[in-house]
């Protein structure tokens, strides 16, 4: 892909313009804006991919928008961030209005500075050191579920998976154990859920009414935003007090929050307190929903596909032996079917199905001239729903990700999906998410059978900023010994 960022660069080479692309008909003045509103907007985009192909155009209030889904072009666009493409201004405004920003909405040198600290706080060494704590947290949730089932009570998977994810991210990033799993009324979890509801509503709305008047739900969201900031500020204050007592933490921080505090306290770092707070809030909010949703979709799909669930249970039993759950870090490399089950779930139910961005300069994408400041949306599912790439693509088949020998580049399915984005802005929490998924899912398959709950409401795909199931219609049943 060519980026024309300098007047001396030769003229761009292309064969078509945006107006040459196919696309759905729109309405006068608003174009396709009304068709892009609603919590299932991503399903409409996916339907258009099937109808118009891997690259098509939309019109939103007279402004062109380009949607891309073929893997090669998606990969090229993602690799051009942040120089070639930036976050859309509308998304940044919506997030900043709710006090969610940090590295996610930062650009340029500000992004590079913040990204370095966030990556340092979530690298492989930090996660490995935190692994024993994750095991304890997982065992805590296991005991909660066993007790509930013994008392004849159902397990609220949707709530508990989010609580586990919140415990994990607050533990590794903030250095605090809040035990949200066993705190049914945890205000931080409640406020985060409310925040995602508002984010989902605002990012899929065709008219930003809240700029002009506030409904009760908007005032409630603002209250949740304030309470989340208060909770995170308390984490920061407690950590600062501890760091004053343990001076060595300034030179060798033990978690992401300590690293950011050390940077903000260093006048040479140019890292401000405002950036500290916004990134701390972002880590807590972003780390809770994505992992919980990924596990929830896996359990839903496994419950619907008993053969896949049986195969995963057999693998878990073989790896764990007499152990009740993963306690040895080296075991984490021994779950190829679990990894395949996760990849297949992401193919069918990507938790971040589309990434929106804006071109920083005139460029060429997929042999199409894209003017500066054009909105471009890429599909993280890539070619995952393409029948030619994934035969019987509507079926959940983890086996399609398992190979005796690594396939060549052009046939490797992992190169056709982008569940964690791509390029320099690849999700910094991906390794933590995969670690938590392995620990929690292996625990579940070791101790429980999954049953589809026919009495529960069906799991609809709902955009609450990330794509979440509207319910988790799965019952847990204790496995019989032997």
CATH for 154: 1.10.630.10
Checking if the pLDDT of 7 tops 50, the result is no
Mean pLDDT of the 178-203 span: 89
pLDDT, averaged across the chain = 90
> Around Cβ 356, how many Cβ atoms within 10 Å?
16
Long-range CB pairs of 325-331 (<8 Å, 24+ gap) are 325/135, 325/138, 325/139, 325/142, 325/439, 325/442, 325/443, 325/446, 326/135, 326/438, 326/439, 326/442, 326/443, 327/135, 329/128, 329/131
Mean pLDDT of the 118-136 span: 89
**pLDDT band at residue 5, thresholds of 50, 70 and 90?**
very low
Residue 282 confidence (pLDDT): 86
Q: What is the dihedral of CA 378, 379, 384, 386, to 10 degrees?
A: -70
The conformational region for residue 366 under phi > 0 = left, psi -120 to 50 = alpha, else beta, is: left
**pLDDT band at residue 10, thresholds of 50, 70 and 90?**
low
Residue 187 confidence (pLDDT): 92
User: Which 3 state secondary structure label does DSSP give 463?
Assistant: strand
User: Structural domain tally of the chain?
Assistant: 1
Q: What does the alpha-carbon distance between residue 473 and residue 250 come to, in Å, rounded to a whole number?
A: 47
Residue 283 confidence (pLDDT): 85
Low-confidence winner among 141-150, 196-205, 471-480 (lowest mean pLDDT): 196-205
Structure tokens given for 273: 């307190």
Residue 100 confidence (pLDDT): 80
Q: Please write the tens of the pLDDT for every residue from 197-225.
A: 888 888 888 788 888 999 998 899 889 99
Q: What does the alpha-carbon distance between residue 321 and residue 331 come to, in Å, rounded to a whole number?
A: 11
Residue 468 confidence (pLDDT): 92
Q: What is the dihedral of CA 385, 391, 392, 393, to 10 degrees?
A: -20
Residue 91 confidence (pLDDT): 81
Checking if the pLDDT of 232 tops 70, the result is yes
Q: Which residue has the higher pLDDT, 480 or 3?
A: 480
Domain with 18 in it: 2-478
Q: Is the pTM of this model over 0.75?
A: yes
Any residues with CB less than 8 A from the CB of 471 and at least 6 apart, and which? Answer: 158, 456, 457, 458, 459, 460
Residue by residue, DSSP assigns 11-63 as PP--SEEGGGS-----BTTTBTTGGG-STTHHHHHHHHHHHH-SEEEEEETTE
Query: In angstroms, how far apart are the furthest CA atoms of the chain?
Result: 74
Checking if the pLDDT of 8 tops 70, the result is no
Residue 2 confidence (pLDDT): 55
**pLDDT band at residue 9, thresholds of 50, 70 and 90?**
very low
Percent above pLDDT 90 for the chain: 61
Percent above pLDDT 70 for the chain: 98
Q: Please write the tens of the pLDDT for every residue from 270-314.
A: 888 888 888 888 888 877 788 999 999 999 999 999 999 999 999
82 cis-preceded (ω within 30 degrees of 0): yes
Mean pLDDT of the 146-154 span: 95
């Amino acid at each position: 892909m060519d980026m024309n960022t300098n007047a001396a660069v030769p003229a761009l080479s292309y064969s078509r313009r945006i107006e040459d692309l196919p696309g759905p008909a729109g309405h006068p003045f608003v174009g396709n804006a009304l068709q892009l509103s609603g919590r299932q907007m991503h399903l409409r985009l996916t339907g258009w991919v099937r109808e118009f192909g891997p690259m098509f155009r939309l019109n939103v209030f007279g402004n062109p928008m380009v949607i891309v889904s073929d893997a090669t072009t998606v990969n090229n666009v993602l690799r051009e961030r942040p120089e070639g493409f930036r976050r859309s201004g509308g998304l940044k405004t919506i997030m900043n209005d709710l006090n969610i920003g940090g590295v996610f909405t930062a650009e340029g040198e500000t992004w590079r500075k913040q990204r370095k600290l966030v990556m340092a706080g979530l690298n492989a060494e930090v996660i490995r050191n935190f692994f024993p704590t994750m095991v304890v947290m997982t065992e805590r949730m296991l005991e909660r579920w066993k007790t509930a089932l013994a008392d004849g009570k159902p397990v609220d998977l949707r709530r508990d998976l989010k609580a586990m994810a919140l415990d994990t991210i607050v533990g590794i990033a903030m250095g605090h154990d809040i035990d949200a799993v066993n705190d049914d009324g945890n205000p931080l979890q409640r406020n985060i859920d409310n925040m995602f509801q508002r984010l989902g509503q605002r990012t899929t709305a065709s008219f930003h009414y809240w700029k002009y008047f506030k409904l009760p739900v908007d005032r409630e969201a603002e209250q949740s935003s304030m309470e989340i900031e208060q909770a995170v500020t308390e984490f920061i204050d407690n950590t600062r007090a501890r760091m004053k007592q343990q001076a060595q933490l300034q030179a060798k921080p033990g978690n992401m929050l300590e690293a950011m505090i050390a940077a903000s306290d260093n006048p040479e770092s140019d890292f401000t307190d405002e950036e500290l707070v916004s990134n701390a809030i972002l880590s807590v909010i972003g780390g809770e929903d994505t992992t919980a949703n990924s596990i929830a979709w896996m359990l839903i799909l496994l419950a619907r596909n008993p053969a896949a669930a049986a195969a995963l249970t057999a693998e878990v039993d073989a790896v764990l032996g007499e152990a009740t759950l993963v306690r040895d870090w080296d075991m984490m490399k021994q779950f190829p079917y679990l990894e395949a089950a996760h990849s297949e779930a992401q193919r069918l139910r990507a938790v971040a199905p589309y990434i929106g961005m804006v071109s920083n300069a005139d460029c060429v994408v997929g042999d199409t001239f894209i003017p500066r400041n054009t909105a471009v949306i890429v599909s993280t599912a890539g070619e995952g729903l393409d029948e030619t790439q994934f035969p019987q693509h509507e079926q959940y088949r983890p086996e399609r990700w398992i190979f005796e020998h690594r396939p060549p580049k052009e046939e490797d399915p992992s190169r056709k999906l982008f569940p964690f984005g791509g390029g320099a802005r690849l999700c910094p929490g991906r390794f933590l998410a995969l670690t938590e998924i392995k620990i929690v899912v292996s625990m579940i398959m070791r101790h429980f059978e999954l049953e589809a709950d026919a009495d529960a409401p069906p799991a609809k795909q709902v955009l609450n900023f990330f794509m979440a199931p509207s319910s988790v219609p799965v019952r847990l049943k204790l496995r019989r010994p032997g």
